[in-house]
Amino acid sequence: MARKLIIGRWLLCVLTATVPLAAVLLVSARHCEMASGFNSDDLGPVDFCDDILQHRWMPGWEIPGQRFLFPHAALLLPCRWAISSLPLSMLAYDVLFVFLLALVLAWLGREASWSWSEAWLASCLGIGFWLTINLMPVCDPQFIYCPHTHMHLELLPVGIALLALLLRGLRRGFRPWELGLAAVCCGLGAFSDNLLIVQFIVPAALALLLFLVAKKISVRATVVAGLLLAASVALAFLVEQIFVWLGFRFLKTSNYLKLANWAEIRDNVRDYWRVLQPQDLQCVLCMLFPLAGLPLVLKHWPRAGHPRRFAACALGVFLLLAYLSSLVLFLIMGRQDAAAMVRYSYCFTMLPPLAFPLVVALLAGTARRRLVGVCWLAIVLFIGYRLTTEFLNNGFPRFEQPYPELAQRLDDLARERGYIRGLAGYWHARYMRYVTKCHVQLLPVERDGRPYLHIANPERWLSDDPADLAVPEYRFIVVDKLKSEPAGCPSADIVQEEFGPPRERIPAGGSFEIWLYDRLQSPRFQVFLDSLLSRRYERSMAWVAPSSLLGRPKDGYLTPREADRVLAVGNATETTVRFAQPVSGRVVDVSADCDARFCMTFFNGGQKLGTLEVPPVCWPGTPEGYGSPGLRSRLVVVPQAVRSAGWDRIDVRCPKSASAAIGHLLVFRDASELAELPLPSRR
C-alpha cells in the first residue's frame, strides 16, 4: 500500500510538471508573435552565443550592465547550437530556464522541511501561476514575461538557489564543496547581473545579522554564511576584471549610481506609478511582496528555534528585506526613466506568485494539509482556466514571427540584387537580421548616422571570413522620412548630408525608405571601418615596429589610455620615432586618441622622403556609458616614393593647440594581399 502511495505521488509530480510546460509554451508563443516581441536588446545574447558558435573574434564585445552570461548564455548556447530557428531556440531556452527554476524552487521548499514531492508540486504550481498571470487581459503586452527577454529575470534561479543553500547550511552545517560551488555560481550570477547583489545578497546578509542579534543562529554559522556572500561579490568583480583583461568592454554601471535628491526621488516615484497605474496586476504584485513575508514573520518568529519554523521565518524576513533593498535602489540611481525602473523591479514583483504556493503551505503548517490542498487546487483551477481560454482564443501555438514590410523589401533586395549588407537604426538593425529570411546583415547606427556598438561585436562590421582583409561593401541604408521614432533610423536629411543622394529609393512601409547606393562612402565612416579592420591586420600579418613601447598593439577596444604605455606628442612640437634599420611597407597602422590629428614625416638618414596626414577617428562607435573611447587605430597607405626608398625615422607633429598619445606604430611589409584593399588613400 505504501509503495502504491509513493508511485501515485510521483506520478502526480510528473503530471504537475506539465502545468509550467503548457504555460511556457503559450506565453513564449504569444511573446514570439508580438510585433515588438524581440528587440535589439533582447537579441544581444543571441548574437553573443552565435559569435561563439561561429568562432568569431570575441575581444572587443561591448557588453551592457546586464551581462547575460550566467545562467542566460549557459542555457542559450546549446539551444542555438541545436536549433537555428530563432522562435524555436527561444522556446527551448524558455523550457530549460523554467525547468531550472522549478528545481531550485523545489530545493527551497525541501529545505523548508517539506518532502521532495510536495516541494516539487509547490514549485510547479508557483511557476504555472506566475506564467499564466501574464496571459490575463489585464496584463499589458509590453509587460509580458518571457525568460529570454532582457528583463533581469535570469537572476531568479541563482538567487533562489542561494537562499536554499543558506537555509541548508544554517540548519545542518556547511560543507566545503557546497560553499565552493555556491561561491562560484553566485559570483558568476552577480557578475552577470549586479541586481543579484541588491535583491538577494544584501537582503540575505541583513537577515543573517538580524537572526544573529536575536540569537536565532550561532556566530560560527553567521560568519561562514557571511564569508560565502562576501566571496561571491568579490568573485563577481574578479571575473569582470578577467573579462576586461581579455578585451571585453562593459557598460560602466557606476556612471549611473548617484544619490538622488528629493526632487529626483519624487519624480522617480511619480513616473513609476504613472507607468504601473494602468497595469492593475503589476500594482497588486508590488503590494503582495511585503504582504507575502509579513505573515510568515509574525507567525513563526516566536518559535524560530524549531527547524521548520526557522525556515519559514527566514523566508519571510528575506522577502521583507528584499523589498526594502529594492526600494533603496531607486535612491542610489538618481533620475531614471520609468521603463528602466520597471525592468529593475521585475524580480521582486514576480517573486510573490512564484512563492505563493510555498508561502501558503508554510503559513498553514503540517496540521492543516487539507487547507493547503484546497488552496493549491484553486491555483490549479485558475491555471487551467487561463490556459484553456488562451488556447480557445488563439489556437495551438505556431511560433511564427511577424514578417513586416521592411523585412520583405530587404529580402527582395538580397534575392534580386545580392544586397546583403547595409545600415539601419539600432532598434531595427539586429531585429531585421533575424526576421529576414535571407539574414540580411544590417548594422546599427544612431539617428545622426554614427555607428552604434551597444551590445555588439565590432567584428560583425567586417566580413564573416576572419582571413578577409578587405572592408565589405555597404550598399543601402534604411531611412526614416518622418523622424517618427526617437531612437529609430537616421533621417533623410542627415543621410543625404553624410553619404550624398541615393541612386534609388525603395518604399518599405510606413515612414521607412531604403536608400540604395553603389557603395556607402563617407570619410568618417571609412575611417571607422579601417579602425576595425586594423585588428585583423594585427592578428594575421607580420609587422615591424620602432620600439617595444610602440610595437605592442594597443587599441581603445582592448587597452585604455595609460601614460606609461603610450608615446606623448606635445603641442606643436615634433617627436622622433627611430627604427633600428631602414624599413619599407605599404601600410602603417598607427593607434592614437580618437580626436588626434597629426602628420608623420618620413626620413632616410637626413633625407626627407615625404609627409603623411593621419586623420582623426570621428566615429569611434562607443556609446555613452562605456567610458572613454581611448585609443583607436588608423590604417594609412604610405606614398609610393617613400615606400620605394625606405625610411629609418619618422617625425610626428601635432597642429597648434593640440596633442596626441600614440599607442602603437606598426609597419606592414609589402604583401600581395594588400594590393587590392580599399584603404583610405584609394577611395
For CATH 2.60.120, list the domain ranges present in the chain. Answer: 524-682
Report how far apart the first and last C-alpha atoms of the chain are (Å, whole number).
86
Hey, which residues does 250 pair with through a beta bridge? 63
Phi-psi region of 412 (alpha: psi -120 to 50; beta: other; left: phi over 0): alpha
CATH number (1.10.3470, 3.30.460, 3.40.50, 2.60.120) of 524-682 reads: 2.60.120
Asked if residue 71 has a cis previous peptide bond (ω within 30° of 0), the answer is yes
pLDDT for residue 176: 87
Residue ranges of the alpha helices (H) in 83-200? Answer: 86-111, 116-133, 155-172, 176-192, 195-196
Return the H-helix or E-strand segment holding 424: strand 421-425
Distance, in Å, from the CA atom of 583 to the CA atom of 565, rounded to the nearest integer, reads 24
Regions of the chain with pLDDT less than 50: 141-143, 558, 563, 672-683
pLDDT for residue 682: 40
List the grid coordinates of 365.
503548517
Distance, in Å, from the CA atom of 540 to the CA atom of 587, rounded to the nearest integer, reads 14
Distance, in Å, from the CA atom of 525 to the CA atom of 621, rounded to the nearest integer, reads 10
CA angle centred on 451, ends 445 and 452, rounded to 5°: 75
Phi-psi region of 370 (alpha: psi -120 to 50; beta: other; left: phi over 0): alpha
Phi-psi region of 215 (alpha: psi -120 to 50; beta: other; left: phi over 0): left
> On the CB side of 93, how many CA atoms lie within 13 Å of its CA?
30
Interval 546-585: pLDDT, tens: 876 777 777 655 455 554 566 777 666 778 888 888 888 8
Q: Which amino acid is at 104?
A: V
| Contacts with 573 (C-beta within 8 Å, 6 or more apart), sequence order | 653, 654
Cell numbers 549557459 label which residue? 74
List the grid coordinates of 480.
526614416
Evaluate whether 603 touches 511 at the Cβ level (below 8 Å). Answer: no
CA angle centred on 118, ends 112 and 120, rounded to 5°: 90
Residue ranges of the alpha helices (H) in 252-404? Answer: 262-276, 280-300, 307-332, 338-344, 346-364, 369-394
Taken in order 116, 118, 119, 120, the sign of the CA dihedral is positive
The DSSP code sequence of 407-424 is HHHHHHHHHHH---EEEE
pLDDT for residue 36: 63
Whole-model pTM: value is 0.86
Evaluate whether 268 touches 277 at the Cβ level (below 8 Å). Answer: no
Distance, in Å, from the CA atom of 191 to the CA atom of 182, rounded to the nearest integer, reads 14
pLDDT for residue 232: 92
**What phi and psi, each to the nearest 5 degrees, are found at residue 576?**
-95, 135
With CA atoms as reference, report the closest residue to 444 among 615, 595, 623: 623
What secondary structure letter does DSSP report for 670?
P
| Contacts with 79 (C-beta within 8 Å, 6 or more apart), sequence order | 89, 90, 92, 93, 96
List the grid coordinates of 655.
597642429
| Contacts with 398 (C-beta within 8 Å, 6 or more apart), sequence order | 29, 33
**What phi and psi, each to the nearest 5 degrees, are found at residue 89?**
-65, -35
Distance, in Å, from the CA atom of 46 to the CA atom of 31, rounded to the nearest integer, reads 16
How deeply is 657 buried, as exposed, middle or buried, from its count of CB atoms within 10 A (0-12, 13-18, 19+)?
A: exposed
Distance, in Å, from the CA atom of 446 to the CA atom of 426, rounded to the nearest integer, reads 7
Evaluate whether 643 touches 610 at the Cβ level (below 8 Å). Answer: no
Q: Residue 410 to residues 477, 504, 513: CA-CA distances in angstroms? A: 11, 14, 11
